[in-house]
Structure 1
Amino acid sequence: MSVLFNHKPPLSFSLPKVDQLPLAESVVVVRARRLKTWELPSMFHCSIVGTCLTTAELRQVLAKVGDIDAKMATDHALHSRGVRAAGQHDIASKLLNKALERRHDRILKQFSKLSTASEVRSQWNVAVDDGDISGAYWAVMSHPASDRSLRQEVFGEVHMLSHLVGSSSRLDLARLRKLQLDAEAKDDKIARQEARLQAAANNQACLKRRIDELEADLLRRQTVAAEPARADNGQEARLQQRLQVAAQRAGGYDERVAALEARLAEAERRAAALAEENGILQQELDLLETALTASEVAAPAVGHSNELQTLLYVGGRKNLFDRLRKLAEHQNIDLMLHDGGVEDNLSLLPGMVSRVSWAIFPVDCISHSAADMVKRLCRESEKPYLPLRSASLASFAAAIAQPLAAAE
């Protein structure tokens, strides 16, 4: 505790007599000021700067201390400079602490009322459930009542949460990027087809004009004179033959134009399908970001009424079950989980389906027998069910954000 009194004289207080303490009370808690970043171990600086401050706020802090490259530096470079500044007792670190205090003033006031490590741990758990992780993380790390074990525990949770969010987001972003590249390729292909179609139309127009010219020339030659008509019979035959060839070529171009139009319609249909899928993926990413990204004020649940819904989730990955429960709680949903027969017996499904309002299951992480059983039980009990695109948190967040009527 010596580090807590480096900049203030020790507080004067008197200990109560032993016989005046409650039986459950074994220690006396001394209130002190919150710690600064340079007073914390350096292993925590990276997570504090990366979790508790935005890139824009960090850029402003570095600009105030005369960092001429602050406006043009990359996010990673800014983060490295911020971590280095957090461990130094100078103007930059003081401005960094002021930015942290100003950004998280509301939640710091909540934590300032706490006096023991157990109370701080309980308030941290409440903040995690509410999604306000960035402010609560700084409040725990700087709180004078936080001990080494509590800081290590909270640091580990934030570290693993960053891995979980990064893994899920990278997969969805990679899929979205691939779809965008596919859509761009389809757009290029459609543009080339349109160019070829336009060239074919121009060629057909030229042939039509040529046919008109030939017909006009033929008519003119027929009316020149009757006497030289015999000599012109051969020329007329050749013109007729050329006219027939031109007509055949025009017919071939008509067929090619029709085929190109059909291919263009198919390309437009596939591009629309890709655009729709892009929209679904973007919606899932937005919902996941809303559910997991730290915010100053926890957003209320949307998409469902205040009535508690009961939902059965069959299949998926067990390491995500705790996160699924937290997302469901934000939507006022009582979530029941069944791993699809890996460890849980399939004979439990009839009873579970009878107790829920609806059911969902990821099609990429469930056995055929379990999926067929859920569908059959839901149809028999006239309850809706919804197959999910994948077992990711994003697909689950998108599903529970939809009204109940959206399920089959």
Structure 2
Amino acid sequence: MSDHPFHVAGGFFAPTRHNQPETLTLQRPSLPEETSSAPRPGSRRRKLWDIPHKFHCPVIGVCFGVEELRGLMARSMQFPRDTSDFVLHTTAVGACEARTPLAEALHKQLEKRFQLSVRVFTKAKEAEALRSLWRDAAQTGIELPAALWASWTHPACDALLEQDIYADIHMIQHQLGTGTRAELSMLKALQADNAQLRRQLDAARHEVETQRTEKSRETQQLGQRVAELRIELACKDAYAANLAGQLELLRQSLPELKERQALARRASDAEARASALTAQAGEQDREIDYLRDRLRALTQHAGETIKSLLAEGPDAAPEDTGANLAGKCVLCVGGRTGSIDGYRQIVEQRGGRFLHHDGGLEESLHRIDGFLAAADLVICQAGCISHNAYWRVKEQCKRTGKPCLYMKNGGASGLSRLIDQNRSDTALPAKV
């Protein structure tokens, strides 16, 4: 028979004196008597020291972590700090064979931790129901330590179920070891990938930090520029306010400013009229020279006509040659350029003085006011002047009461017929 009754290599720490802290005296335990694995009669759950001793190793190894086990053992015994985890594990397993202070502490901790699972497993009254609960827990792997403790301490757990649980937990531990090795290999690969990702992350962080610094510098420059623009805008606003104040002071110091502006406009209009009158005077001088020549020709023609009439007899009478303008000033606004001389000849044959304005096509509209003021009769070529000139002539004639004749046909014959048809309008006293 082996010297290691709990199927592990090593020993256990036995107390040197009763009721004293246990010291590190590593001893070989004596072989206990073989106990039956059959469940005890009754409904009382088994204690940690009541289950078979070979099951203590899986219970301690599965239900307790290494650091937790070290802390629980430090409360009831003394051992060097450099004691290995394996020696502590074998010592705890050996102490669970009998009811020792360490076994009681471990039992209380297991009962406190797994009380919910124990209540669930207590509902099973037979070994088959308990086996079903264990298999469900083993397949899912959830709360496996709690299921292991609740099953082995259950009063309905027989020797066959104990052996099946032992076999399952034994193989699970092997599978965990294999999985741990695979996980270690995967962990190394993941660590290598993690190191590479960390290097990439550090490079990205450095690049981001560089960009952040550059953006921060640009933001500061833009903020400084915005502040400068705001100052410049404030200066311009202040300058505009100062100019507005000065303008208001000027307006208050010149209360007759509007009157002066009106006088300035009237002076400008008067200057325009003076220019028009000057131009009209020059044209009239030319007309006077022309009329003198015409008068000499007419006088000569009249003398010849009188002589012929006297020769024909006293019953002969002169024909009606049309309307007599008798020295009236006739203003023709618009008209075709080629017909101007014909207009002039018709007016002068009837004893009138001829003035002409092109209706704003080339001459300024400001000069038309002077022409309208000097005219006794206005003839408007409605189809050959601008709209502004048309309405200006019409309004001025209506306001002053001067006769205004409107022509649709731009020929010289049309003008002659228009004058003859409106003799009543042309029969005004001549201007001196």
Give me the TM-score of the superposition, normalised by structure 2: 0.34
Structure of higher RCO (CA pairs closer than 8 Å, 6+ residues apart):
1
Q: TM-score, normalised by structure 1?
A: 0.36
* Higher Rg: 2
